Structure 1
């Protein structure tokens, strides 16, 4: 029998420590491979940790509520074989006497050792290779509770690449988050199983390696799909890192990934629809410097932006290098050919949600013009007198307030409709979704309890959640739970549009651009600042008359803005 030490794995980019939330095992328990042993919490999510080996718990290090360093011993097991540590020290902390359930936070992903290949024998050391020339098969781990499959968003390696342990291999997307998968071993990639956009089953083959030692499989399977010729960067969604657990003490040095024979790393510029790849620390530094990451060329794997790239960007005065292949010919040059783009990742999720809304909801669209001259005068007055800590007000906080007041008379419009169960849930709180265009596509961050906010507080919260959605730092609860939505195209708002309801809500309001128009007022032709307000309603719940009454109430409040705070 041997001893195996399981250390706290890296559960997120830039995360140096995590809080131990709860234990699911105690000293003396016999656990199976992939059994949940503990819950930990980072600043992003609560993560389930599963056992990398089958064995008996000898020691559990840490108490619930304690901050633990990444790479520090977490659980020690007695296992068949030699294990990965030579001798067992006494437990640093006694384990709780009973398992403790998850106590809070969203569960983002289960961090698991990769499933073993068919016909594997129990391995000493939790699967670390022991002899030269073996084959190691990495299967798609469980990346979320109840998730049976995940969409492959993109590869960061190709066949023939030498990778190091914990090097980023691929991104997959569930309905909860985009998850980075890292390599559990050091070795050479011999097969990639899947193409970007393909749905993969949990436990299915993902990457085959040749490794030092016997690996975890007798022979390497042929590639089920040809490898892409270049790595594909992340295309959207919040990122949670899923890493294999660090190896125990006494491990041999791991080979490093090849860098092209010492040639300088290529610098890659993110395209418009790509979320730039960067660690949270790099993102925070970019925010502090006021740098838009999508314009910064990245020199890391798959164009990942690193601190040195920020330094180079600042040193260059904020100028990007010329994009390879840019046309320098005549403005009347003929062009041939077509470009096909697979709709995958977040963009496909957006498309599916839009299609579901249109398919399930019979929309009724209503448009009304509003004289916002007085509102614009009030807004200008308030902005001229704002304090240093107050934000500059645009029209959205006033529209949000008008919606809050109008909903008091028609609370049914502030509802979710479950058409499958036939249940309408009307909410007392007004959580307003703000449809926002981001580098990752259309997202709807949420301003919670708009009914309890003044215009400055509303403006601050709109800016905060919209900014978080745009830079990729928004948490899941900031992107869900809205009860009614505002969609605005700002200065591009046009004359009128037909907004699509954010299912399962029953209404959406969309202001168009403000423009000066000649109108007749009191028998005279005058120039006024006018804005069309477009809106859509679920006709199964909201009748046309009620939709008109709701919009007319908003119109009256915005045309007499002093009444917004008199109700």
Structure 2
């Protein structure tokens, strides 16, 4: 038997580090070759790390949320047919792994856990009769109760918690877990030793004084950092305008009725994207990225529109490239393709970067008005609010019209309020008279 150390691989594109967002294994697990060990994230793209060998997990070199440098020890396994030490030939690898353990990477029992362990061992060696009786009572209580979890369902717990439970003769399936995903902690064991599995019944209303610390990791941390950067660096100006989309909705319905089978069902977005292309042609300085460190505005010819998409992991912004060269159907098909890739977690880094202006929409939950945050380092974002039927005065009577607000934000360092208003008013005109979207020149 020997040991094999797996290092953080080079995930490509010159990336020197990645954030660990998920472990698929734990210490003690037996893994097969090519089994997924962990997932890491780089610039919103998640990469899975497989095992090159078959073996038993001895040590994990990072916790979820840690940023791991390329080449750092990540996993150590017990394998057959290899000499002791790192299989990669790195003489210092084993020392680095053991040093990480000495520095506190490996999980250690809590102070309360150590005290209870000591009591349990003392009772088992013929210590205090009262302590021994308490332990025997706890074990009798455990044996008399059915398990919380089904047969074969493995409770989540660290190796240290499992060792304590084993020494005390406790079936962890009977211990309620208070950690993430029901993970059993040392505090849960402490409570179980003291009270057994008791459920306090509360009648009426009662205060909830619990506090849960949730570590911000993965995509949620990326979003938080991006929003903080946008808010701290960009002085926002938000302009809201009402748009009558009755004619546009009639046109959209007509086009969807006669579309070919190979064409996507059109939403509002392709029309808005084409309207933005025409408006940008008249105000090209809005299709830009602002490098505030260098003091340079990079004005782009190609219109690459980011589409903010909500996924199970959080907000992602896939990018439709070169919208100026696409028609309605091409825009719709690409939006659908990228949205599916983002939701499935298969969108590439290329598909999630390069936007020069962004559309954000909450669909039917879009509200009356919003104050969208600019997707740094862009200088503008167009926010779509929900469509509602409202009474509109036509000069002689009120008539029902389909109305929608555009809530758009601009970088006030680059875009003056007047220019922002002109831009939104141009988009409003195009959407209210949709035939103009198709007029060339």
TM-score, normalised with respect to structure 2: 0.71
* Higher Cα radius of gyration: 2
Offset, 1:227: 5.3
Structural mapping, 1:133-532, within 5 Å: 134-175=2-43, 177-212=45-80, 213-216=82-85, 221=98, 223=101, 224-226=104-106, 336=208, 337-532=210-405
2:20 and 2:40 in contact (8 A); partners too = yes
In the other structure, the counterpart of 2:192 is none
Residue 467 to residue 182, structure 1, CA distance change in 2 (3 Å): closer
SS at match of 2:302: coil
SS at match of 2:370: coil
Considering fraction of residues, name the structure with more strand.
1
1:434 and 1:446 in contact (8 A); partners too = yes
Given candidates 426, 436, 439, the residue that maps to 1:563 is: 436
SS at match of 1:502: coil
Rounded Cα–Cα distance in structure 2 between residues aligned with 1:185 and 1:333: 55
SS at match of 1:406: helix
Residue 176 to residue 342, structure 1, CA distance change in 2 (3 Å): closer
2:37 and 2:51 in contact (8 A); partners too = yes
Offset, 1:335: 8.1
Residue 157 to residue 385, structure 1, CA distance change in 2 (3 Å): closer
Considering fraction of residues, name the structure with more helix.
2
Rounded Cα–Cα distance in structure 2 between residues aligned with 1:162 and 1:452: 52
In the other structure, the counterpart of 2:418 is 545
Is the deviation greater in 360-369 or in 171-180? 171-180
Residue 476 to residue 199, structure 1, CA distance change in 2 (3 Å): closer
1:191 and 1:227 in contact (8 A); partners too = no
Q: Which whole-Å deviations, capped at 9, do the CAs of 1:11-64 have from their partners, x for residues lacking one?
A: xxxxxxxxxxxxxxxxxxxxxxxxxxxxxxxxxxxxxxxxxxxxxxxxxxxxxx
1:137 and 1:205 in contact (8 A); partners too = yes
Structural mapping, 1:2-17, within 5 Å: none
Rounded Cα–Cα distance in structure 1 between residues aligned with 2:222 and 2:284: 30
In the other structure, the counterpart of 2:178 is none
* Contiguous gaps of at least 5 residues in structure 1: 1-131, 230-262, 269-301, 303-328
Offset, 1:175: 3.2
SS at match of 2:239: strand
Higher relative contact order (CA 8 A, sep 6+): 2
Residue 158 to residue 485, structure 1, CA distance change in 2 (3 Å): same
Rounded Cα–Cα distance in structure 1 between residues aligned with 2:46 and 2:286: 33
Residue 457 to residue 149, structure 1, CA distance change in 2 (3 Å): closer
Aligned residue-pair number: 344
1:158 and 1:228 in contact (8 A); partners too = no
* Contiguous gaps of at least 5 residues in structure 2: 87-93, 110-149, 156-180, 182-200
RMSD in angstroms over aligned alpha carbons? 3.0
